[in-house]
Amino acid sequence: EAVQLFANDPETKAIVMIGEIGGDLEIQAAKWIKANCKKPVIGFIAGETAPVGRTMGHAGAIVSGADESAAAKKKVMRESGIHVVDSPATIGAKVKEVLG
């Protein structure tokens, strides 16, 4: 829902999407972005080093399957045209690069 709001906002020039391991919301968003969003999207997935089955983070994120891993989500995001970064420290530079 949030991505759709930003995609439809005329003042938003780019979207930054930050997700985490577990679940499939980021994959759903990536598929929606590929089909509907004309704005550049920069993405980051936290939890790259989390082992399968271990609870991580403040929300108790857990990777219960291979397609919920950070690597799997990043792959789908890239295939959807999202500019994926490997560190939150590089988000600003990537936004600047994408916007020119």
**Residue environment code for 54-93, b if the CB has 16+ CB neighbours within 10 A, otherwise e:** eebeeeebbbeeeebbbebbbebbeebebbbbeeeeebee
CA distance 47 to 64: 13
Instruction: Look up 83 and say whether it is catalytic.
Output: no
Q: Which of 35, 53, 58, 100 is catalytic?
A: 58
Catalytic residue IDs: 58
